[in-house]
Amino acid sequence: MKAVVVEQYATIDQVELKDIPPPSMEPGQLRIRVEAAGIGFVDGLKIEGRYQTKDPLPFIPGTEFAGVVTEAPGTPGGFEPGMRVMGMTRSGALAEEIVVSPAALHPLPDGVAAEVAASFRANYLTALYALNARAMLVSGEQLLVLGAAGGTGIAAVQIGKLLGARVIAAASTPQKRAFARAHGADSDIDYTQTGWRDTLKELTNGHGADVIYDPVGGEISVQAFRSIAWRGRHLVVGFAAGAIPALPFNLPLLKGGALLGVDLAQIPVREPELQKRLMSQLTDWLAEGQLKPAVGRVFALDDFREAFRTMQTRGALGKMVVRIAR
């Protein structure tokens, strides 16, 4: 089978597409023919060996995928050959086949394209977990989304609207801000401008942001917290800017604010029942058409490097997807 193989931690230009044997199966596992794989910021960090945990070399990158079950001895988890599924695993998605346990999979609702499914689970589960389970966002609250046009940011914009929030999208270019508005944001802010906090104050009538969804990090995070509402909640989702900010502890005291961490990898381990409930809600919204994931560009498998480059330049709108099979 064809697969993207990382033989040493390196830049994406040094990673190759190779012909390798299909993965072997163990009892209780299923084989999936991968139709599409999503590319996220974490995938790029893993390839370069800069993520907080390292995958043993060699490895196939890609954590999120959609495809069709081709082998399911004993129908583990109720999955049978021919079923369309979406899944998430530690690695292995950028290949024509992947072998996983039933816990990694979720049935795909009828009519949902593989490209949509491959860009769905990580970003939208993160957003719903963060906004609903961590921040306990309620209808009518002011939600500020930093990096609002990226894969996880645009998911927070859409989930925030479904939860009834007034969503303010913060992004660095007119194109990105227009993209966020097209996907439901009520207002937008250019956070590269010196006076962006004054703009936020005007948009919230002096109230500030009740919830801040922050996948960006860096100095912008500290500035955003300075504009949080009383008893506001700041969700730490990631550090796409590359710098981990240091928050002065007097700010939470003065603002009555809370800093809340969001780590998608912890949810299935520490809160498996909550994950099931959230995924059920997400797939219901997906099946009913209330939630339409924002797919960015779709690339052929041969063009996987360009998918990573687009994502890493932070010029991406939505999530990058690699189409592997039809």
Any alpha helices (H) in 183-320, and if so which ranges? 196-203, 219-225, 250-255, 267-270, 272-288, 304-312
Give bridge partners of residue 261 from the DSSP assignment. Answer: 236
> What's at 165, amino acid-wise?
A
CA-CA-CA-CA dihedral for 292, 146, 314, 304, to nearest 10 = -40
pLDDT of res. 185: 97
> Which domains are assigned to the chain?
2-120+293-323 (3.90.180.10), 123-265 (3.40.50.720)
The DSSP code for 276 is H
Instruction: Please give the pLDDT value at position 314.
Output: 64
Give the 3-state secondary structure of residue 218.
coil
Strands 30-39, 64-71: pairing is antiparallel
- Continuous segment of H or E residues that includes residue 166: strand 166-171
**How many CB atoms lie under 10 A from the CB of residue 161?**
18
Long-range contacts of 80-84, Cβ-Cβ distance < 8 Å, separation of 24 or more: 83/107, 84/108, 84/114
Identify whether 22 is preceded by a cis peptide bond (ω within 30 of 0).
Answer: no
> What local confidence, expressed as pLDDT, does residue 7 receive?
94
Residue 284: CB atoms within 10 A of its CB come to 12
Q: Which pLDDT does position 319 carry in this prediction?
A: 85
Per residue in 287-301, pLDDT (tens digit) is 898 998 888 889 999
* DSSP-derived secondary structure for 7-59: SSS--GGG-EEEE-PPPP--TT-EEEEEEEEEE-HHHHHHHTT-SSS-PPSSB
Residue 40's contacts (CB-CB under 8 Å, 6 or more residues apart) are 63, 64, 122, 123, 151, 152, 311, 319
Give the model's pLDDT for residue 312.
Answer: 77
Sorted by sequence, the CB contacts under 8 Å of residue 279 that are 6+ apart come out as 106, 121, 125
What was the pLDDT predicted at 326? 65
Distance CA 96, CA 127 (A): 29
- Compute mean pLDDT per 10 residues along the chain, 326 residues long, and list them: 95 94 95 95 89 89 96 93 94 96 91 91 95 97 96 95 98 94 97 94 96 95 96 94 89 94 91 93 92 90 93 78 87
Round to the nearest angstrom and report the end-to-end CA distance of the chain. Answer: 15
What would the pLDDT profile of 226-273 be if each residue is shown by its tens digit? 999 999 999 999 888 878 999 999 999 999 999 999 998 899 889 999
